[in-house]
Amino acid sequence: MRSDIQFRGVATPVRVVFLALGLAAVAGCSSQQVEDAGHSLATDAPAALGDVSIAAQVEAKLLRIDADSALHVAVAVHGGTVKLSGKVKSAATESGFTAAAKQISGVKNVDSTLQVDASLPPASEQARDAGTVAAVTGDLIAQAGINAFRIKVNAHAGVVTLSGNVKSAAVKATVLDAAKHAPGVKSVVDRVEVKS
């Protein structure tokens, strides 16, 4: 199994190079342009794979430091430069995230634009809210069919907010009723508009 993973890791950039060469040839490029494109992809592919690896390692470290904050942080890596953006619970978490990213092998620089927000919800609450959104969305589709795709569902601590538009007052009533009876819903905020 291990050798298969290593083989795929090596073969993927090679496949990308051959695909690019084939597409360039079909597009009518000169043989020199095809050769230059193949060389560029062959040299850039390992760097791109390195950036992906760095991003995965940074994200894993952030989760170990503070899972609640890590869910609100975006990690982007280009050429060994890590960019952290989003929100964290405290200044200590922000400095811990930055220091952790700097410790990853291959990281050249860390650019952090993290903002402190002490009111970030814990991961368990976020999971509950995501479950509520899924339940409400499922019930809306079951009751209102295609009309449900025009409705955006948000949830926070059992309070569901519905926004969007529907074609009739009857469809709106069906949507609201379905949301009120979905599992985990305590109340519904109605921001649904009727537009024929």
Class of domain 123-194: alpha beta
Full pLDDT tens readout for the chain, 196 residues: 333 333 333 334 444 444 444 444 444 445 555 455 444 444 455 566 688 889 889 999 998 998 888 888 999 999 999 999 999 999 999 999 999 999 999 999 999 999 999 888 777 787 888 888 999 988 888 887 877 788 899 998 889 999 999 989 998 999 999 999 988 899 999 999 998 7
Report the 10 Å Cβ neighbour count for 32: 8
Angle in degrees, CA 125, 131, 136, rounded to 5: 125
Structure tokens at 84: 């952290």
Give the pLDDT confidence score for residue 47 in this predicted structure.
62
CATH architecture of the domain with residue range 2-116: 2-Layer Sandwich (3.30)
Q: Which residues contact 99 (CB under 8 A, 6 or more apart)?
A: none
Give the pLDDT confidence score for residue 176 in this predicted structure.
92
Separation of alpha carbons 35 and 21, rounded Å: 8
3-state secondary structure 87-108: EECCHHHHHHHHHHHHCCCCCC
Give the pLDDT confidence score for residue 191 in this predicted structure.
95
Report the 10 Å Cβ neighbour count for 132: 24
pTM to 2 decimals? 0.49
Give the pLDDT confidence score for residue 35 in this predicted structure.
52
Q: What is the CA radius of gyration of the chain?
A: 24
- Domain residue extents for the chain: 2-116, 123-194
